[in-house]
Chains A and B, each alone.
Chain A
Amino acid sequence: DGGITQSPKYLFRKEGQNVTLSCEQNLNHDAMYWYRQDPGQGLRLIYYSQIVNDFQKGDIAEGYSVSREKKESFPLTVTSAQKNPTAFYLCASSITPRGLSGNTIYFGEGSWLTVV
Chain B
Amino acid sequence: SQQGEEDPQALSIQEGENATMNCSYKTSINNLQWYRQNSGRGLVHLILIRSNEREKHSGRLRVTLDTSKKSSSLLITASRAADTASYFCATVSPVIQGAQKLVFGQGTRLTINP
Which A residues are closer than 8 A to B by beta carbons? 4, 30-31, 33, 35, 40-45, 48-51, 56, 58-59, 88, 90, 92, 94, 96, 98-110, 112
Contacts and interface: CB of A to CB of B under 8 A. Distances in A.
Given A41-B106, A42-B106, A107 B44 contact: yes
Contacts of B43: 43, 90, 92, 107
A7 to B, nearest CB: 13
B100 A42 contact: no
B40 A110 contact: yes
Interface of B: 1-2, 4, 30-31, 33, 35, 40-45, 48, 50, 88, 90, 92, 94, 96-107
8 contacts: A40-B107, A42-B4, A43-B104, A50-B97, A50-B99, A90-B43, A104-B48, A106-B45
Contacts of A104: 33, 45, 48
A1 B35 CA distance: 21
A31 B2 contact: no
Which are the 10 A-B pairs with shortest beta-carbon distances? A42-B104, A107-B42, A50-B98, A31-B99, A50-B99, A43-B104, A107-B43, A96-B98, A42-B106, A109-B42
B85 to A, nearest CB: 13
A96 B44 contact: no
Contact of A101 (B1, B31, B45, B88): B31
A98 B44 CA distance: 24
